[in-house]
A and B are shown apart, each in its own frame.
Chain A
Amino acid sequence: MRDFLVLRVVAKIMMAFMLLFALYVQFHGDFGPGGGFQAGVIAAAAIIFYAIIFGLPAARKVVPDRLVEAMVAAGVLLYASVGVAGMLLGGNYLDYFVLHADPVEGQHRGIFWIEAGVLITVAGVMLKVFYLFAGRPSEDEDGQ
């Protein structure tokens, strides 16, 4: 698909909006529908879209394999460490109200960070699965 000029130009424009929409869903999740899971999937979909149009090597250059694998683990670690942070500050595990002097503000902070963790892990796993499936050689090429 690398030869279709229209697709390439439209994809380049669309990419920005897709990633922006993912960020909107992420950070607006407090007020409207959305959150880490949805935003992670949309962000991964944007990268997969890029990979379909421009080819897998180009996408691997933008989001390298090692970064994706690091994202898979980093999200869970971020989520879990928010819980540990709450414990260190004198609350129970995953208590958010201790994260700030004002309990409601603390809730906001806690939710912000765990949603970020969810986003990172979900986007990482989705991308990794796509890379692994798309990166395997077809059975025909493999047979010989």
Chain B
Amino acid sequence: MMAAATVAIAVQRNLFSVVILFGVYSFLMATVLVALDAVDVGMTEAAVGAGISTVLLLGTLYLARKEEMKPLHRPLLPLAVAVATVVVLAYGTLGLPAFSDPGAPIHVHVAPRYIQDGPRETGVPNIVTAVLASYRGYDTLGEVMVVFTAGAGIIALLRRRWNGKQKEKDR
């Protein structure tokens, strides 16, 4: 179904249906993440990917034209690059340990310490929260900084332009 949604996004020329298909794709992705036991990420995907970005894309669509323009050149070179990337990535997955293999490097490094000592040291039953907020406090601070910087950048870009237009109108 996700593959079908992706192909439809690529083929579709009407931007409104593309936005809706993006929403469908995000919900399918959220379902996959829940199936992989990553409920936190699934929740974020459903709220950000399917909810807010759909609204933002619709808002952008309101500002722009409804139909995608015809491509100016043949898409053969981008297609070749994409296929080559897929081949390289698929080759890379051959070197990964098997899915849910307990001996994989990621499961023997710091994860056992988080799982064994986390509940005792932090008293927080949800290990994801314990790791994010306590053990990886700096990382999360950095993430919040990134969100803040993004917001500040958007404010700086869009608000000034808007005000400039208003002033031109007043003149």
A3 at the B interface (CB under 8 A): no
Question: Which residues of A have CB within 8 Å of B147?
Answer: 121-122, 125
Bound-state CA distance A74–B74 (Å) is 49
A72 at the B interface (CB under 8 A): yes
Interfacial residues, chain B to chain A (CB-CB below 8 A): 39-40, 43-44, 47-48, 51-52, 55-56, 59-60, 62-64, 120-126, 128-130, 132-134, 137-138, 140-141, 144-145, 147-148, 150-152, 154-155, 158-159, 162, 165
Question: Which residues of B have CB within 8 Å of A110?
Answer: 133-134, 137
Whether A38 contacts B40 in the complex (CB less than 8 A), given A30-B129, A126-B52, comes out as yes
Question: Which residues of A have CB within 8 Å of B133?
Answer: 35, 110-111, 114-115
Bound-state CA distance A29–B39 (Å) is 12
Tell me if B's interface is mostly helix, strand, loop or mixed: helix
Q: A107 to B165, Cβ gap below 8 A?
A: no
* Total chain A interface residues with beta-carbon distance under 8 A: 54
Bound-state CA distance A47–B51 (Å) is 12
Tell me if A's interface is mostly helix, strand, loop or mixed: helix
* Cross-chain contact of B158 among A52, A83, A104, A132 (Cβ < 8 A): A132
- Closest residue to A69 on the B side, CB-wise? B155
Q: B56 to A30, Cβ gap below 8 A?
A: no
* Cross-chain contact of B144 among A105, A118, A130, A139 (Cβ < 8 A): A118
Bound-state CA distance A38–B71 (Å) is 38
Q: B52 to A45, Cβ gap below 8 A?
A: yes
Question: Which residues of B have CB within 8 Å of A142?
Answer: 165
Q: B59 to A134, Cβ gap below 8 A?
A: yes
Q: A76 to B148, Cβ gap below 8 A?
A: yes
Q: B124 to A111, Cβ gap below 8 A?
A: yes
Q: A132 to B122, Cβ gap below 8 A?
A: no
Question: Which residues of A have CB within 8 Å of B158?
Answer: 132-133, 136
